[in-house]
A and B are shown apart, each in its own frame.
Chain A
Amino acid sequence: MIFSKKEIVLAYTVEKCPKCKKSSKRDFSETDVLFTLSSKCTFCDGITVIEKIFGEILQK
């Protein structure tokens, strides 16, 4: 097992603006829930909706 790498799961949240359809990915926050309103869109005046929450494995 000396060559095995330690795996860390990093959680991300993808927000999508229903108005301009643009998506952005950021780190997951504990208050994030799928399909709920999230933050103000940085491209237009719309409010983004949480589209996906997923994890990516980082090997150390």
Chain B
Amino acid sequence: MIASLLAAAPIGGKAAVHLAHASAWAVFVVGAVLILVGAFGVILLRNPVHCALMLVTTLFGVAVEFVNQAADFLAAVQIIVYAGAIVILFLFVIMFLGVDRKDTIGREPFRIQRPLAILVGVALFAEIWALSRVQNWTSGKPSVAGPLNPPILGPDNVPVTSHGHTVTAENVQALGQAIYTRYLLPFEMTSALLVIAVIAAVVLARSRERVAGELARSDQAQRRAMGSGDFEEAGAQ
């Protein structure tokens, strides 16, 4: 995206290429710094509210890296869903429970746990790094979902051309076509999953005590309306 913006700029060809390269690296470094600062903030800060705000920093950095890799739609969804919904939910629960003052980072039930966690973390990173050095990532099979920028087909299934170049789809169009055709069944299943999750959250977070109190109050109202003698008779039977 940045490269296409710079290609339109009125500068020389070779200078434009250098500038696009440098700007891609600059955006990558900015996003990486945001991600790492946020991640270390999440695991090191004591106050859960500060951790949630650092989580926003990391999520924004990931969105920056998405933009740098031409995943525009996912960057927008990352900001809207993660920073706009999930972190707000975290903050709401933190403040609803009032756990933002109490901190338990000093108390260590298992003294061995922290060095062990460092060991496991280093081993995990070494493993992922070693795996990423293996060069045979691809199986050679053709893609089932299509390329990132598929050509736009005209009414007679002929690629549309403009000024001698094939017109290719943008990111949003390509992703939408993939989700609504190839991945239609998973898409429908996620809608069912969201409904189940909403119902589960309502059932889990419902206050049983208050429901019981409301029932008792309605019971009392019923008792008053029926009159005590009738109610006692009904109870005796």
The reply to whether chain A is a binding partner of chain B is: no
Chain A interface residues toward B at CB < 8 A: none
